[in-house]
Amino acid sequence: MAFVMGNKALLETQRELRTHVPNFTFNLGFSGKFFHAGSDEEDLGDDLLLSYVKEFWWFPHMWSHMQPHLFHNQSVLAEQMLLNKKFAMEHGIPTNMGYAVAPHHSGVYPVHMQLYDAWKKVWGIKVTSTEEYPHLKPARFRRGFIHSGISVLPRQTCGLFTHTIFYKDYPGSPNELDKLINGGELFLTVLLNPISIFMTHLSNYGNDRLGLYTFKSLVMFVQTWTNLKMQTLPPIQLAQKYFSLFPSERDPLWQDPCEDKRHKDIWSKEKTCDRFPKLLVIGPQKTGTTALYLFLGMHPDLTSNYPSKETFEEIQFFNGHNYHRGIDWYMEYFPLPSNTSSDYYFEKSANYFDSEVAAQRAAALLPKAKIITILINPADRAYSWYQHQRAHDDPVALKYSFHDVITAGHDAPVKLRVLQNRCLVPGWYAIHLERWLNYYHSSQLLVLDGQMLKTEPASVMDKIQKFLGLANIINYHKILAFDPKKGFWCQLLEGGKTKCLGKSKGRRYPDMDAESQGFLREYYRDHNIELSKLLYRMGQPLPSWLREELVHTRASRCHCPDDGLLCVLKEEEEEEEGRLRDAQEGTFSV
């Protein structure tokens, strides 16, 4: 009668634990298909448990304990859940707790959107838990996140598994289990985490009732040796508490599911990491990113993303709200890999460059990716961006001159200040590049001279092909042609015609006024110096425009006596002198 006794003991233990932990309640998972599917005594145990149904909390654990990631079709998954729900209703099991657990952690992380959608549809699930985010080990790094309206809480490991059901057979010796509890890892888990969620299997509540033994002993040990106050909360309140304690964990950080074998095993077989890009063109905006995107797409080994309806060719996944749509959404932008098509996927989203979050997110999902950035003189970039905003009828850009925008002071209207920031901040190149270098090795990053991309795109494409290590090297001198009417290089089509970028790229507008030029030269001076140091460190050549700016910097910082013979460099500039000389000679080569 082990199961009957075990189930009685469950209730008794709950009552006992409540005297130490207010509101302590076991949360029991059910897979309806296995109800009354055991031996006679196990079936009796099932009945007994249901006779106390109101004493416990309950969560659905899938009708037949199937792993959700095996269901590609959301409606089939929902049908399975409905069977379990019907079972719950027939047996008076509450269906409104808003909490569920997926068998074997499947579908929770890595996220299987079909599971999230079916859970919400059938059960109104708001909370779940897993041991797998971001990874099972090390346990102390487990975190929570919120995705698609479902709070995913970190679950802890309690040392009891399906195979550890008898005290005397505990791996190592029974003493090992006691050590875990009495000051060992299990105790430390409770001590170091303000919220702990544990889960063990039914077999640990029958047999030797190790589940009950473990939690009772743990509570006693914690109460004896600490002054921690323990309490139990229902799942939804628990999730609210968790994310109010750890608000920074709300946003998930998607990892590459193929970097962790456990994750790969619980990821749908329909999904493949070969559907992620291997190259990101990160911008910044207005540096020639669309031209580069077109030229890359002409290469037979490279495949671009499908265009986005919202943002034209750009997916804009890593920098903004699209990230919260998850990696299934992102992958949909790339073709399913096939033997016939090339699988070197790339995407460009020009505002990744200066995003606070894109580098970290990209590196988590695409740690091996290659990254390309294009830099033009930040002053020209700012001006091109301003013209772009005017062309898009931005009322603030239409109202104020470029000079007004770049020189607006702290007391200027908020809208103008916002526009100013968006105009100028992407040009703080060194600061943004440093952020990417925090997450990617410098050998993964290629910095292109945007001026050269404009004037000698074929040579730039040679460099890129080498950087990417492509098998086929294409001679872009033969497939690009300068279009005098457009004033830019374009794709050469059969019959000698050219396909150029639309009129929004390579716009015609008056030159920047001299006063703004002077202001921006001063404004970006230190940023440009920092950039030169950074590129030097990276072993990348300085773009031509940067060399010119540095030369200008030196000239303007020299204090020339009247006879004009002697230039006195400031102390800090002396340090730079050697580098400036190299820059002038163009000897910063890789």
**Which residues of this protein are in contact with ligand A3P, per CB under 6 A?**
285-291, 350, 384, 387, 453-454, 488-489, 501, 505-507
Residue 355, annotated ligand binder?
A: no
Q: To the nearest whole angstrom, how small is the minimum distance from the Cβ of residue 269 to ligand A3P?
A: 38
- Contact of 335 with 341, CB cutoff 8 Å: yes
Radius of gyration for the chain, computed over Cα atoms and rounded to the nearest angstrom = 31
Choose between 80 and 316: whose C-beta lies nearer to ligand A3P: 316
Choose between 68 and 450: whose C-beta lies nearer to ligand A3P: 450
Q: To the nearest whole angstrom, how small is the minimum distance from the Cβ of residue 93 to ligand A3P?
A: 58
Choose between 60 and 506: whose C-beta lies nearer to ligand A3P: 506
Choose between 453 and 550: whose C-beta lies nearer to ligand A3P: 453
Residue 484 CB contacts under 8 Å (≥ 6 apart), including other chains: none
Residue 506, annotated ligand binder?
A: yes
Q: To the nearest whole angstrom, how small is the minimum distance from the Cβ of residue 479 to ligand A3P?
A: 13
SS3 content of the chain, % helix, strand, coil (to 5): 50, 10, 40
Q: To the nearest whole angstrom, how small is the minimum distance from the Cβ of residue 21 to ligand A3P?
A: 59
Smallest Cα–Cα separation from 326: which of 253, 262, 250, 266? 253
Instruction: Look up residue 535 and give its two tokens.
Output: 């590129």
Residue 236 CB contacts under 8 Å (≥ 6 apart), including other chains: 97, 98, 99, 126, 127
Determine which helix (DSSP H) or strand (DSSP E) holds 582, and give its type and residue range: helix 571-585
* Residue whose entry in the numeric block shows the structure tokens 């949360």: 27
Smallest Cα–Cα separation from 397: which of 382, 411, 410, 409? 382
Task: Clarify whether 286 is annotated catalytic.
Answer: yes
Choose between 118 and 382: whose C-beta lies nearer to ligand A3P: 382
Choose between 412 and 501: whose C-beta lies nearer to ligand A3P: 501
Choose between 260 and 354: whose C-beta lies nearer to ligand A3P: 354
Smallest Cα–Cα separation from 251: which of 342, 200, 325, 172? 325
Instruction: Look up residue 57 and give its two tokens.
Output: 């909390």
Choose between 77 and 453: whose C-beta lies nearer to ligand A3P: 453
Q: CA–CA distance from 565 to each of 552, 558, 562 (Å)?
A: 18, 11, 8
Q: To the nearest whole angstrom, how small is the minimum distance from the Cβ of residue 379 to ligand A3P?
A: 12
Give the integer Cα–Cα distance in Å for 13 and 118.
Answer: 34
- Active site residue: 286, 348, 370, 454, which one? 286
Residue 509, annotated ligand binder?
A: yes
Residue 505, annotated ligand binder?
A: yes
Q: To the nearest whole angstrom, how small is the minimum distance from the Cβ of residue 391 to ligand A3P?
A: 9
Give the integer Cα–Cα distance in Å for 315 and 330.
Answer: 8
DSSP alpha helix (H) spans, 392-498: 395-399, 402-407, 414-424, 429-439, 450-455, 457-468, 476-479
Q: To the nearest whole angstrom, how small is the minimum distance from the Cβ of residue 190 to ligand A3P?
A: 53
Give the integer Cα–Cα distance in Å for 76 and 268.
Answer: 15
Smallest Cα–Cα separation from 203: which of 261, 162, 170, 253? 162
Residue 462 CB contacts under 8 Å (≥ 6 apart), including other chains: 473, 476
Instruction: Look up residue 484 and give its two tokens.
Output: 């005098």
Query: Would you give the DSSP letter of residue 406?
Result: H
Q: CA–CA distance from 534 to each of 135, 309, 507 (Å)?
A: 34, 37, 31
* Residue whose entry in the numeric block shows the structure tokens 């916002």: 418
Give the integer Cα–Cα distance in Å for 354 and 285.
Answer: 9
Q: To the nearest whole angstrom, how small is the minimum distance from the Cβ of residue 329 to ligand A3P?
A: 24
Q: Is 111 helix (H, G, I), strand (E, B) or coil?
A: coil
Residues annotated catalytic, as ranges: 286
Binding residues: 384, 489, 505-509
Binding residues for 3'-phosphoadenylyl sulfate: 384, 489, 505-509
